Amino acid sequence: MAGKRILSGIQPSGTLHIGNYFGMMRQAIALQNRGDDCYYFIANYHAMTSMPEPEALRERSFGVAVDFLAAGLDPEKSVFFRQSDVPEVLELTWILSCLCPMGLLERCHSYKDKLAHGMEANHGLFAYPALMAADILLYNSHLVPVGKDQKQHLEVTRDLAIRFNNHFGEILTIPDAYIHEDVAVIPGLDGQKMSKSYNNTIELYGEGKAIRKKFMSIVTDSTPMGEPMDPDRCSIVALYKLMASEEELEELRKNYRENPEFGYGHAKQKLYEKYLEYFAPMRERRAKLLANPQLVEDILQDGARRARLVARATMEKVRNAVGL
């Protein structure tokens, strides 16, 4: 896979949580460090489907940039930018929309899921896959890291690229999905998938009493103190596994099975301490970035400049092909 162009985006929909980190960000950072040509963007156009307040959208977009950089994204190794700083993506979205059958969008389960969770229906939410396709195709992306829940949207992207190429010539690169089979569902405080939609998240850079209280509120079964606990069916162990060494994990599992003086309260405390230790270097980097917002903005602007070089070249071919 080395040498392929990889593209991925993250929405500025609120405070990032450890599910974002272990589900997407850690893999993105690993890919940049193996020599792939990585393009990562802050999907602020996508975030507008829920129409956040303007200042909130700006703050969240900046916050995502800081948090991603603090987590280890290297702007020397990756092209990192705000989606809205490359306006060519909207022109390509429109052109792809004109090729997109309504039935293709109507079959997308993500739209139905969001409506089921109370989001108001709007055209942006419905046409989200067309914008996602433009994000991917604009940069001639070969691979797109996606979760299993986003695989259908990538199939829409492939379908639209094939339709375009069949109609106008071989111009757009047909991308493939890169699905992280080794990334399990990250459990939230209530045992469901960690998601802001479920209000069950653990903030990526939380500190103080409030974040410890969250760890102590993780839902467990009713096994009484003194009886063996099952480490294979416990959210605490599943989260600890993401941050701990094999030896540390085995020690925790042994305590679950064999130590009558070890209960869920002790396990939650160990998880909390491991969380503080694991993310401590990132919190330090984050504090330095927050103290220098112009550096963050400069990184995003340089990323947008580099991204637009590719975007403009793609759109020159697309515009000529479609007769604009």
pLDDT tens digit sequence for 191-210: 999 988 789 999 999 989 99
More confident residue, 197 or 264: 264
Which of 40, 37, 31 is closest to 69 using CA atoms?
40
* Catalytic residue selected from 114, 214, 268, 274: 114
Specify the pLDDT at position 184. Answer: 67
CA distance 236 to 268: 7
Cα Rg, the chain, nearest whole Å: 22
- CATH fold for the domain made of 5-185+293-322: Rossmann fold (3.40.50)
Structure tokens of 310? Answer: 């590719």
Asked whether the whole model's pTM tops 0.85, one would answer yes
Cross-sheet strand order for the sheet of 78-82:
78-82, 37-42, 5-10, 143-146, 176-179
* Catalytic residue selected from 151, 196, 213, 254: 196
Could you confirm whether 114 is annotated as catalytic?
yes
Question: Is the predicted pLDDT of residue 1 greater than 50, yes or no?
Answer: no
Distances (CA, A) of 206 to 18, 198, 213, 214, 283: 10, 18, 11, 10, 9
Question: Is the predicted pLDDT of residue 180 greater than 80, yes or no?
Answer: no
Question: Is the predicted pLDDT of residue 271 greater than 70, yes or no?
Answer: yes
Ranges of each domain in the chain:
5-185+293-322, 205-286
* Catalytic residue selected from 112, 193, 209, 268: 193
Could you confirm whether 148 is annotated as catalytic?
no
Structure tokens of 138? Answer: 């604009």
45 Cβ neighbours under 8 A, 6+ residues apart? 83, 84, 89, 90, 131
Could you confirm whether 317 is annotated as catalytic?
no
Specify the pLDDT at position 264. Answer: 96
- pLDDT mean across residues, the chain: 92
Place of tokens 């200042």: 55
- CATH fold for the domain made of 205-286: Tyrosyl-Transfer RNA Synthetase (1.10.240)
